[in-house]
Chain A
Amino acid sequence: MSAVSPGSMVTGLMAGVGMALLFGVMDASAKLENLTFLEKPLTPEQIALGNDDYVEFCASCHGANLKGQKNWKRRLDTGRMPAPPHDASGHTWRHSDQELFAITKFGVGAVVPGYESDMPAFEDVLSDEEIIAVLGYIKSVWSDEEREFQHNLNLKDGRAR
């Protein structure tokens, strides 16, 4: 898979959502049974790859159990915020697939200009497939409620553009 720009990623998502709506296959409950990223189903192999990459590149800050750093709501002495959890206690599920992809690939500053974070951009570390796999793995631990909430954000993101 070649590198994906944020613009083309969003354009592709729009097209996908539009087609799905057109043919009436966007059944929300059915979608929830199938773990997706940017509306594309994720395979067990992708989740396994995501798990491996998460352990290697993410767990040192976000925790092997996805619980984040201790006292993650309290600012560090540096002025930056600790790594948040990726499970239900955090806010990852409050961000659309597009945002999560952009934050992971380009850094938090890609969606919040000027924001300083200890989290690096992974565009030179992970391929787009690996980023999607990692985010798919994170999504795989969410409950149905969180996945449904986040899925609706994805649809709104697609419709807005």
Chain B
Amino acid sequence: MKKNTIVAGPVSRRALLHGLVAGAGLCLLPATAFAAASKSTSSAIAFYGNALIVARGSALLYRSGSQNWTALPKVSEGTILTFTTHPERPGRIVGGLDTGGVVLSVDGGKSWDVRGQGLPKAAVTAITTAATNPDTIYAAIRGDGLWQSDDAGQSWVFVMDRPWLANAERDLTALSSVDLATGMGGIWLYAGTDTGVTRVPDCFCRWQDVQPGDAMDALASGKQATPKVPLPEGEPVSALVSAVSRPATLYAGLPSGIWQSQDAGVTWLKRSEVIATALAVHPLRADDLVIVNDDGVLQSPDGGRTWTAIANI
């Protein structure tokens, strides 16, 4: 079957949409799957194994491997704003709700259990599972801060206030557990905000800018840190993901496009002008990423250079 492959470079949403229509055989969506979803509606996407689950507004879709997309029942408790999955829990999907709390599914999104005892009743704007511990989940709460659960979302404790950037506290728009050592016996949590990327060690001592190695490296050697190429200053980050199979590889979705880092966020390279409101990376293939935007779901097999529309929304 011919796919709608889009070569890297400026790509308009219209062109993507036309390409998608031309290859309609690829996407056998239920005709009304996302009909109620308007532009600028919230979106979330995650791999679980080779399957994908997508939330667009209150609508949910999943696709197993190369099979057709299937609509899932809506979650009655609220709208899912963010997903997290973990390779060691292949059947489990956790979603964060706009109404507060989280929901957990072990049947591919067909049914959901409500969890979130102890969480404030405010939107869960971003969620991630600890890369090194599949039962530890972190949730970012709008207007509040970062919470941690060590029992797969059942109970929660507050662990860290929101980051202070450009003279204000910032809600987290994205959250990713990055399996790279902090030097403090743990790993990093990277976060997107409306004004860039920041990170915190999982001991939660302090939010801090991304820098090469850790600060003790420069302190011990007396040398200046390697110059870095950051993301464009001040741009909001709508999506941020670390590749499980290659943790130093990060992808970020900004208004200027999709950006990739292969050194844990020290240097960034713009890979595409495609806009993403949600982003996920295949658990085994660090170059295989999927995004959601106003036009649908797109997939790239090559780290964001080329894109194929795989679902119309």
Contacts and interface: CB of A to CB of B under 8 A. Distances in A.
A49 to B, nearest CB: 26
Interface in A128-160: 149, 152-153, 156-157, 160
B263 interface: no
Interface string B191-226: 000000000010111101101001111011110000
Given A73-B161, A113-B209, A152-B185, A94 B215 contact: no
A108 B102 CA distance: 35
A157 B183 contact: yes
B184 A110 contact: no
Interface residues of B, number: 30
Contact of B215 (A74, A81, A91, A112): A112
Contact of B169 (A79, A113, A149): A79
A28 to B, nearest CB: 15
A81 to B, nearest CB: 7
A38 interface: no
By size class, the interface of chain A is 20 to 34
Contact of B162 (A75, A102, A115, A153): A75
A69 interface: no
Contacts of A104: none
A113 B160 contact: no
Contacts of A156: 183
B227 to A, nearest CB: 13
Nearest to A106: B219
A143 B121 CA distance: 36
Contacts of B201: 94
Contacts of B211: 113
B215 A113 contact: yes
A73 B206 contact: no
A102 B160 contact: no
B216 A99 contact: yes
Interface string B220-241: 1110000000000000000000
Contact of B216 (A80, A98, A115): A98
A59 to B, nearest CB: 20
Interface string A1-38: 00000110010000000000000000000000000000
B11 interface: no
Given A79-B169, A156-B183, A73 B209 contact: no
Please indicate which of the listed interface residues B203, B216, B222 has the most CB atoms of chain A within 10 Å of its own CB. B216
Given A102-B216, A115-B208, A161-B220, A94 B186 contact: yes
Contacts of A115: 206, 208
B209 A7 contact: no
A89 to B, nearest CB: 11
A10 B161 contact: no
B185 A112 contact: no
A115 B167 CA distance: 13
A135 to B, nearest CB: 16
B209 A81 contact: no
A81 B220 contact: no
B216 A7 contact: no
Given A111-B215, A111-B219, A161-B220, A95 B204 contact: no
A50 interface: no
Contacts of B214: 111
Nearest to B169: A75
Nearest to A116: B164
Nearest to A92: B205
Contacts of B159: 73
B220 A84 contact: no
Contacts of A114: 209
Given A73-B145, A75-B164, 20 more contacts: A6-B220, A73-B158, A75-B162, A81-B161, A81-B206, A84-B205, A91-B184, A91-B204, A94-B184, A94-B201, A95-B184, A96-B216, A99-B183, A111-B216, A149-B185, A153-B183, A153-B185, A160-B183, A161-B217, A161-B221
20 contacts: A7-B222, A10-B216, A75-B169, A79-B168, A79-B169, A80-B164, A91-B184, A91-B205, A94-B201, A94-B205, A95-B205, A98-B216, A102-B219, A108-B206, A111-B215, A112-B206, A112-B215, A115-B206, A115-B208, A152-B185
Interface of A: 6-7, 10, 73-75, 79-81, 84, 91, 94-96, 98-99, 102, 108, 110-115, 149, 152-153, 156-157, 160-161
